[in-house]
Amino acid sequence: MANDATVRRIAVIGAGPAGFYAAEHLLKQSEPPIAVDMFDRLPTPYGLVRAGVAPDHEKIKNVTRVFDKTAEREGFRFFGNVDFGTDITIDDVKQHYHQVYFSTGAQVDRSLGIEGEELPRSHSATEFVAWYNGHPDFRDLEFDLSQERVAVIGVGNVAVDVARILCRTTEELRKTDIADHALEQLAESRVREIVMIGRRGPAQAAFTLPEIKELGHMEDAGISVMGKDMELDEHSRAQLEKNPDRLTTKKLEVMQGYVGGTNPQASRQCIIRFLLSPIALHMTDDGGVGSMTLMENRLEPGRGSRLSAVPTGNTMTLSCGLVFRSVGYHGVALSDIPFREDWGTVPNDRGRVTRDDGSHMVGVYVGGWIKRGPTGIIGTNKPDAIETATCMLEDLASGASFTPSADDMAKTLRKRGIDFVTFDDWKILDALETENGLAQGRPRVKFTRVQDMLSALG
């Protein structure tokens, strides 16, 4: 199909949800016939569904079956282990394709910008999550789980994932597809207390209802919220009275139920604190983080309807030997593609990439987290990807595209000696992982090194 002159060839860079949802929409069209080559820097597809979604959230990962259906469509090819920017460039793309769609996600963490942030034992949640999920770039990181108290900065769903994984028993984790190296080290964990810290109040907590409820149902861990933290300030109360919001009210009810603790006898305790911002991390005698200074906040009306955290001037010290900063992800600039460093996204107009002067870059599109920033669940990427794919189809119809001249990209990659992984290859790896998992009563045992994956494929 790739050589048929009527076929419009599209490169999708990034095999996460946004990549697959766009590929599905494009491949469903018959006029013009479309071929999609999907690239990922990892040999494995699915982006954060494999490397982000928590191991104990097995059911969520079933969405990969939907992506597999897309991969079965005529005209779809996968090129894993191919990095845009290193192995292929925008010039390669222009020579081989009519259009390119970037769905490279948000690959790094946002920083806090406070003193001591870079101390040993202060990590981003991004690193920890990628480590326990077996992302090859992170598998050799080390986390000192001999520390008894851990602070998690931020109260979003990623912070909840981190806290929950630290609270789970080895037996709970052993049933999941958590990476073997993480399972071994978490089994030796001496962590007893996890303090999650929100800079605003309970009514502004970013975690969602199922996630906060789940913290109350762990085998050998309790959860608690301080009664004084649950007293709503006048602005939050006024907002909820003016615009009743069922989900926020429900979340507040659930947290109210955590006041005093759910299971004080449990081996591990998760404590959620509100209206506190870390302003400095401090070194202890061994050179690693040993404590942090927290500023107490109050809420004041900010931009639009947002209530902002304003420092009161009162501070407190929290001793903690390990810190995970979970204050959001951040996109990474792509070679020769415009980028907004402050937002960590590629500037775009409904997915069409725009230059500084607002003009469209012909043939270049974005979808998912690199388009709109690091928010939203897997499903949020579907309408987002369809919006971009619809623009792509309109542009193809009007002739706004590259005019490719070169041969098949597979030949170009082979000529360059790039050891790419096809979707059939991935299916072999997938079968090996699930087979190994079956033997241990686990969903899969993940490959965590690229070299091991390539060796397994011979």
Ligand X SMILES: Cc1cc2nc3c(=O)[nH]c(=O)nc-3n(C[C@H](O)[C@H](O)[C@H](O)COP(=O)(O)OP(=O)(O)OC[C@H]3O[C@@H](n4cnc5c(N)ncnc54)[C@H](O)[C@@H]3O)c2cc1C
- Of the two residues 93 and 203, which places its CB atom closer to ligand NAP in the complex? 203
Per CB under 6 A, 154 contacts ligand NAP: yes
Quick one: 52 or 321, whose CB is closer to ligand NAP?
52
Instruction: Report the residue number whose CB is nearest to ligand NAP.
Output: 156
CA atoms within 13 A on the CB side of 170: 12
Cα dihedral sign, 180-181-183-184: positive
Among ligand X, ligand NAP, none, what does residue 200 contact (CB within 5–8 Å per kind)? ligand NAP
SS3 108: strand
Nearer to ligand X by Cβ, of 48 and 183: the residue is: 48
CB of 43 vs ligand X, minimal distance in Å: 10
Paired tokens of 195: 């303090």
In the set 23, 36, 39, 292, which binds ligand X (CB under 6 A)?
39
Stretch of 8-16, 293-301, 359-367, 368-376 contacting ligand NAP, by CB under 6 A: 368-376
Q: Is 158 in the site for ligand NAP (CB under 6 A)?
A: yes
Does residue 64 interact with ligand X by CB under 6 A?
no
Q: Which does 16 bind (CB under 5 to 8 A by kind): ligand NAP, ligand X, none?
A: ligand X
Task: Tell me which amino acid residue 89 is.
Answer: T
Confirm or reject binding of residue 105 to ligand X (CB under 6 A): yes
State the nearest-atom distance from the C-beta of 367 to ligand NAP, in Å: 16
Q: Does 168 bind ligand NAP (CB under 6 A)?
A: no
User: By CB under 6 A, is residue 55 in contact with ligand X?
Assistant: no
Q: What share of residues in the chain are helix, strand, coil (percent, to 5)?
A: 35, 25, 40
Dist CA 106 CA 128 (whole Å): 15
Pick one of 24, 37, 40, 395: the residue that binds ligand X (CB under 6 A).
40
CA–CA dist 308, 295 (Å, integer)? 14
Which of 42, 152, 163, 409 binds ligand X (CB under 6 A)? It is 42
Minimum distance from residue 312 beta carbon to ligand NAP (Å) = 15
Binding to ligand NAP by CB under 6 A, coded x per residue (else -) over 266-295, reads: -----------x------------------
Q: Which of 15/275 has CB closer to ligand X? A: 15
In a 10 Å sphere around its CB, with 0-12 CB exposed, 13-18 middle and 19+ buried, how is residue 169 labelled?
A: middle
The closest of 404, 428, 426, 401 to 43, measured between CA atoms, is 426
Q: Count residues near ligand X (CB under 6 A).
A: 35
Return the one option of ligand NAP, ligand X, none that residue 103 interacts with (CB less than 5 to 8 A, by type): ligand X
Taking a C-beta distance cutoff of 8 angstroms, is the pair 247, 172 a contact? no
Q: Kindly state whether residue 161 participates in binding ligand NAP, applying the rule CB under 6 A.
A: yes
Tell me the CA distances in angstroms from 170 to 157, 182, 216, 233, 325, one per residue in order.
22, 11, 18, 40, 24
Q: Classify residue 231 by burial, with Cβ atoms within 10 Å: 0-12, 13-18, 19+.
A: exposed
Cite the DSSP H helix spans in 152-233: 157-167, 170-174, 180-187, 209-214
Whether omega before 244 lies within 30 degrees of 0, making that bond cis, reads no
How many helices and strands in the chain, by DSSP H and E?
Answer: 16, 18
What character string, x for contact with ligand NAP (CB under 6 A) and - otherwise, covers 308-337? ------------------xxxx--------
**Would you mind telling me the total number of residues written for the chain in this entry?**
458
Applying CB under 6 A, does 375 fall inside the site for ligand NAP?
yes
Q: By CB under 6 A, tell whether 369 contacts ligand X.
A: yes
Question: Which tokens is 208 given?
Answer: 């969602």
Q: In the complex with ligand X, which residue's Cβ is closer, 19 or 290?
A: 19
41 binds, among ligand X, ligand NAP, none (CB under 5 to 8 A by kind): ligand X
CB 158 within 8 A of CB 234: no
CB nearer to ligand NAP: give 88 or 292: 292
Exposed/middle/buried for 377, CB within 10 Å: 0-12, 13-18, 19+? exposed
Residues that bind ligand NAP (CB under 6 A): 112, 153-159, 161, 198-200, 204, 206, 211, 277, 326-329, 374-377
Residues that bind ligand X (CB under 6 A): 13-19, 39-42, 47-48, 52-53, 57, 60, 83-85, 103-105, 107, 129, 158, 161, 329, 368-369, 376-378, 380-381
